[in-house]
Structure formats: structure tokens, C-alpha cells
């Protein structure tokens, strides 16, 4: 058991961290190549290469989503629960943008409502990614594999939705990455060993710390022994 000030909590377990790597290696290249395909900034060969990378990364993303959903259904359920539960805290948090504008631009902290494991901004991102991501996966595979057999009007609207929802989620993802790096402790937890100090977790996710975590077996034994 670590000292009081150095106590750590496992925030992201291995399966969730691996899935996040799946998103980094699958969704991120798909988003970047999606922008290239849309804007066509280079030669025809360059855009063609971008489309091939887009398909390859979408394949990786699809595999990651399927494996994570099957092997870690409890986390999927927990995620759906989290993004579906909105309280007055969330509305108040959204009204002040989580205090991030104050922190980043004005360099001062304002009181914000206590958050669970996901703050309200992450919940919004979760809602967009969950529904939009499913749409992108299905529409993408329809455009890739079934374009010759589905009605042209349907293809037009599927393509329209794939483009604009993809662009929206791409922009959201870049904002998510920026704020993720800003929250360095959580970023290190997600791409490191999954842990952060209890102090940091209490600062960002007080409701989660209060209600949803418990001491490990080893910690409990140490507490009893002392």
C-alpha cells in the first residue's frame, strides 16, 4: 500500500487501454485520411493512397470495436450507462464548460460541479462517438462493399451522412485529443499503466472516487493489519 498522498487508483484497465489504442490506430488515421479524401489537397495518386489507408484503418477500427464489445461487455454497458445519465450537475458543468476556458485562457480556476468517471464534455463526446461511430462503420462498409447493389438515392444519403458525420466526429476528436493532453494525468493513465493518483482522481472525478471505487484486496489486508 502506498503512502496516503501517493495512493493510486486503476482508472483504465488493460482492455480499455488496448481499445483506446485501437481508436488511435483505427479512428485517428481514418479521420485524417477522411479529411484528405474530402479536401483532395494533392495529386490523384495521393488521394488514392489516402483512400487505401482510410479503408485499412477502418478495418482495424471495426476489428477493435467487435473484439472490445464481445470480450468487455461490462465496460460497454458501463459506458452506455454513463453517457445516458444526465443530471443537474452535467447541465451546470456544461454551462461553464467545465471551467476549462477559465483555466486555459484566464489562468484561474472556478468551482465546477462534481463529476463521475466521465465529465459532461466526455459524456457528450461519448454520445457522438457511440452513435456516430456506429453509423460511420455501417455506412463505410456499405459504401465499400455494397455500392453496386444498393439504390443510388440510398447511396447518396449514406455518403452524405458519412462525410458530414465523419467531419464532425473528426473535429470532436481533435478537440478531445487537445483536452486529453491538457489533462496530463488522465492521458498518462490511458496510454500508460492505467493508474493515476487518488488525489488527481478525486480532483477530476469526485463522484466516481466516492461511490464507485474500492480498495484492492491487498490494500484492505494492509488496513486490517494496521
Partner 1 sequence: MASYDYVEKAIKVSRREFLQVVGVAGAVLWTGAYVATDLVQDRTKYIKLRAKGIYQDDVKAKVRQSHNNVALNKMYQTFAQKPLSPLSEELFHTRYVDRTKLG
Residue 149 contacts partner 1 per CB under 8 A: yes
Residue placing its CB nearer to partner 1 in the complex, 13 or 92: 13
Residue 138 contacts partner 1 per CB under 8 A: yes
| Binding residue for partner 1, selected from 92, 168, 219, 221, defined by CB under 8 A | 219
| Binding residue for partner 1, selected from 56, 60, 198, 199, defined by CB under 8 A | 198
- Separation of alpha carbons 190 and 16, rounded Å: 8
Torsions phi, psi for 197 (to 5 deg): -70, 155
Indicate the angle between helix axes 44-71 and 73-84, nearest 10 degrees.
Answer: 100
Residue 202 contacts partner 1 per CB under 8 A: no
Torsions phi, psi for 27 (to 5 deg): -70, -40
The DSSP secondary structure of 122-150, one letter per residue, reads HHHHHHHHHHHHHHHHHHHHHHHHSTTTS
Beta bridge partners of 195: 10
| Other C-beta atoms lying within 10 Å of the C-beta of residue 77 | 10
Q: What is the largest CA-CA distance in the chain?
A: 72
Residue 1 contacts partner 1 per CB under 8 A: yes
Return the C-alpha cell found at 30: 481514418
Residue 162 contacts partner 1 per CB under 8 A: no
| Binding residue for partner 1, selected from 18, 32, 195, 206, defined by CB under 8 A | 195
- Separation of alpha carbons 88 and 95, rounded Å: 11
Residue 148 contacts partner 1 per CB under 8 A: yes
Return the C-alpha cell found at 22: 485501437
**Near partner 1 in 2-41, by CB under 8 A:** 2, 7-11, 13, 37, 40
- Separation of alpha carbons 25 and 183, rounded Å: 21
In this chain, which stretch among 20-28, 84-92, 167-175, 204-212 interacts with partner 1, using CB under 8 A?
204-212
The mark string for 48-67 relative to partner 1 (x by CB under 8 A, - otherwise) is xxxxx--x------------
| Binding residue for partner 1, selected from 21, 86, 146, 164, defined by CB under 8 A | 146
Least distance to partner 1 from the beta carbon of 224, Å? 14
Residue 124 contacts partner 1 per CB under 8 A: no
Residue placing its CB nearer to partner 1 in the complex, 43 or 88: 43
- Separation of alpha carbons 130 and 111, rounded Å: 29
Torsions phi, psi for 8 (to 5 deg): -120, 155
Residue 87 contacts partner 1 per CB under 8 A: no
Residues of the shown chain interacting with partner 1 in the complex, contacts defined by CB under 8 A: 1-2, 7-11, 13, 37, 40, 44, 46-52, 55, 69, 73-78, 80, 117, 138, 145-146, 148-150, 193-195, 198, 208-209, 212-216, 218-219
Amino acid at each position: 500500500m502506498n503512502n496516503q498522498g501517493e495512493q493510486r487508483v486503476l482508472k483504465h484497465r488493460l482492455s480499455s487501454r488496448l481499445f483506446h489504442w485501437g481508436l488511435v490506430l483505427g479512428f485517428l488515421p481514418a479521420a485524417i485520411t477522411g479529411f484528405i479524401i474530402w479536401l483532395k489537397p494533392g495529386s490523384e495518386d495521393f488521394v488514392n493512397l489516402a483512400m487505401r489507408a482510410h479503408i485499412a484503418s477502418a478495418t482495424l477500427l471495426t476489428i477493435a470495436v467487435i473484439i472490445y464489445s464481445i470480450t468487455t461487455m461490462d465496460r460497454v454497458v458501463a459506458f452506455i450507462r454513463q453517457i445516458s445519465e444526465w443530471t443537474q450537475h452535467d447541465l451546470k458543468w456544461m454551462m461553464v464548460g467545465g471551467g476549462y476556458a477559465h483555466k486555459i485562457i484566464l489562468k484561474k480556476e472556478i468551482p465546477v460541479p462534481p463529476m463521475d468517471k466521465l465529465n459532461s464534455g466526455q459524456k457528450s463526446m461519448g454520445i457522438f462517438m457511440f452513435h456516430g461511430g456506429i453509423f460511420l462503420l455501417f455506412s463505410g462498409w456499405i459504401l465499400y462493399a455494397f455500392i453496386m447493389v444498393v439504390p443510388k438515392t440510398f447511396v447518396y444519403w449514406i455518403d452524405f451522412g458519412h462525410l458530414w458525420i465523419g467531419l464532425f466526429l473528426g473535429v470532436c476528436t481533435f478537440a478531445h485529443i487537445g483536452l486529453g493532453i491538457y489533462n496530463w494525468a488522465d492521458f498518462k493513465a490511458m496510454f500508460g499503466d492505467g493508474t493515476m493518483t487518488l488525489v488527481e482522481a478525486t480532483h477530476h472525478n469526485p463522484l466516481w472516487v466516492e461511490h464507485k471505487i474500492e480498495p484492492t484486496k491487498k490494500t484492505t489486508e494492509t488496513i486490517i493489519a494496521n
